[in-house]
Amino acid sequence: MTEWIPVPEKFIEINAKKCTGCSNCIIVCGGEVFEMKGKKAIVAHIEQCLECGNCEVACLPDAIRFRIPKGGTGIVYQCG
Amino acid sequence: MSYDVVVVGAGTNGSTAAYFLAKKGFKTLLIEQSRVPGDKCHGATEYAPGVIFANRPDLVELMKRVLKKIPHIYPGDLGRGALYYYVNKENRVIYKTHAQAPGDTWKETHGVNNQVFVKGLSEEAVKAGAELKTSTAVADVIREGNVIKGVITEKGEEIRAKLTIAADGRISTIAKKAGLLKKWDPNRCWYQYGEAWKFRSEEEMFEYVDYGRHIFFGITLTPPYPWGACTMSPRPGGIATVNAPTSWTSVATMLGAKKNSRSVYIQNLYKLMEVKRMLRPCKGFPDKPFQRQSTFMPGPPLEKPHMAGLIVCGDAAAVGGICGAGHLAAEYVIPFLEKGDVSEKALSGFAQARFARFRVGALKSDSGATIELSEFSPTRLMHWSTGAGFIEQYKCTVDEMVENMRLAGPPVILGAPSPQKVGEFGYADLGAWTIATKINYIMTMYTPYLQNPAIFPVILKWIQKNQASFNQNKIFDHPF
């Protein structure tokens, strides 16, 4: 299975004020990182993040900020 | 610390750029976020450098040197490019065909695990004299007026360089910090999701999967579009990768599915008997893949991929191309570095130069001519290899071609290529039978376009024009 080195800070941030609860992040996330809580998206399984950045692109209200995790952390792909 | 060039991102393009710059004697630093270059790379890949970069011998030499050292297989072995399956609405394979790779190009194609290739490439850069700094994320650029003077790492370390090359991927910190990229347009980014499955051994994999790519076309494979494709490819180490290529699903389109990407993209494929049979021995099939991989191909290309002291290349500028974009960037900047001129004006030609190699048709590849597709992001996959030929044949511009891709509505071609399906194929006027006999070839060369109503008519014109020559030579086998 894919290795994940814990990332010390939040690298996906959701601005709850901007989030409209449209679920776009849930649709495009291949790692099933997001969940809905109430009517807002939350980062529920950050350790499953594939670091593709699709969530930021798909977030039409611009509520999600994705940054590259701190050096040497995050996903380590096991095979090509 | 001060360098001639700092290259951010030791992926395929960054490592290639660093290699050629260091080889030329420039003091080069290559910075990588992960612990080992390649850790973040996925999407097992097929490289055919001799075909793709035939007019760039120095790059071919470098890539082949790396490919020879690392585990690789020949997915084009057995002399064929791929096995194509056509899937109907009931998720059953109703038609199956081999597609011959053009000429002897299959001998050129190496199937590798991308991360191993990238690691090898970065090692070549180091051997050529570049310095490699890993586990280092870049937080910002050093900006003095309108000139970029280097980068600042997340630890606050300032690294100064005459020129910065940003090859830091589609989530480019540098392009954003330099103000060249705000956010990618979801309508023009191509969505991709894939998985890797692991067999107990390479032998077991070949027993079940066989050499060669398996490509499934079907109306239920990639909703919300009624037509799409999934590919399955064997890789070294008993890994089989399953990918839904990006070619016709933008991120925005994907949102129309209203369901999670995995459930719509791959699950449908796993319902097919053929796929179940092939992947059955893999642990966890079909629910727990060995690895998931997701990405998007950014687009459209950054209008301004440069400023004084900075060049943005590869995915970061949406002008990707494995190794090709990095090679081109290095080639472009070397004369200016030698003159010591990295002004805005000097680098302004890069925006055009990055497309300069985009030429020569796939149609001619049989005669050994080149296919140059790598500088242009949506066409960088082998899958899109027809792009170059299309441009040359019909004299359209790169922009027009992209516009056509973007505007592609729901495809019009449904069902399998059989004489009974004339109506559905919509080209009865051309003589469906003749066309059907050519479908092997057409599918190999024009798959993406056949599914694109904006482009399809143009291909039909090409078929019409060449019908006589099709009928004369017998190189196309009857598929039925």
- pLDDT for residue B23: 98
Highest mean pLDDT among B130-144, B227-241, B389-403, B406-420: B130-144
Give the tokens for residue B140.
């910002």
- Nearest CA-CA distance, residue A2 and chain B, Å: 6
> Is B478 contained in some domain?
no
pLDDT in tens, B100-134: 554 555 566 788 888 899 999 999 999 999 999 99
> Is B372 contained in some domain?
no
ipTM score assigned to the predicted complex: 0.95
DSSP B145-167: TTEEEEEEETT--EEEEEEEEE-
Confidence at B16, pLDDT banded by 50, 70, 90: very high
A interface mutation test: which of B254, B293, B295, B322 has the most A CBs within 10 A? Answer: B293
CATH architecture entry for A3-76: 2-Layer Sandwich (3.30)
Contact criterion met (CB < 8 Å) for A72 and B117: no
Q: Chain B contacts of A2, Cβ < 8 Å?
A: 290-292
- Residue A3's closest chain B neighbor by CA? B291
Let me know: does A60 contact B186? Beta carbons within 8 Å.
yes
pLDDT at B374 over 60: no
- pLDDT for residue B250: 72
> Is B377 contained in some domain?
no
User: In this structure, what is the dihedral angle of CA atoms B406, B409, B410, B413, given to the nearest 10 degrees?
Assistant: -90
Range of the domain at B418: 362-367+385-472
pLDDT in tens, B22-45: 999 999 999 999 999 999 988 667
Residue B161 shares a structural domain with residue B209:
no
Percent of chain B with pLDDT over 90: 39
DSSP chain A: --EEEPPSS--EEE-TTT-----HHHHH-TT--EEEETTEEEE--GGG-----HHHHH-TT--EEE-PPSTT-EEE-S--
Let me know: does B377 contact B321? Beta carbons within 8 Å.
yes
Residue B20 shares a structural domain with residue B164:
yes
> Is B376 contained in some domain?
no
pLDDT at B231 over 50: yes
Residue among B40, B328, B308 nearest B169 (CA): B40
- pLDDT for residue B238: 92
Other CB atoms within 10 A of residue B477 CB: 12
Q: Chain B contacts of A75, Cβ < 8 Å?
A: 39-40
Number of structural domains found in chain B? 3
- pLDDT for residue B359: 34
Segments making up each domain of chain A, as ranges: 3-76
Percent of chain B with pLDDT over 70: 62
pTM over 0.90: no
Last residue of a domain, one of B261, B277, B297: B297
B280: domain CATH number is 3.90.660
The residue-averaged pLDDT of B232-258 equals 79
> Is B103 contained in some domain?
yes
Q: Please, which residues 17-46 of chain B have a Cβ atom closer than 8 Å to chain A? A: 33-35, 39-45
pLDDT at B391 over 70: no
The residue-averaged pLDDT of B337-344 equals 97
Q: Please, which residues 39-78 of chain A have a Cβ atom closer than 8 Å to chain B? A: 50-54, 56-58, 60, 62, 66-72, 74-78
Between B171 and B76, residue with greater pLDDT: B171
Please name the residue ranges forming H helices in B70-200: 114-127, 173-177
Strand-pair category, A74-76 with A3-5: antiparallel
Highest mean pLDDT among B48-62, B87-101, B315-329, B392-406: B315-329
Contact criterion met (CB < 8 Å) for B294 and A57: no
Contact criterion met (CB < 8 Å) for A27 and B40: no
The residue-averaged pLDDT of B317-325 equals 79
Taking CA atoms, A7 is separated from A69, B8, B406, B472, in Å, by 6, 20, 36, 63
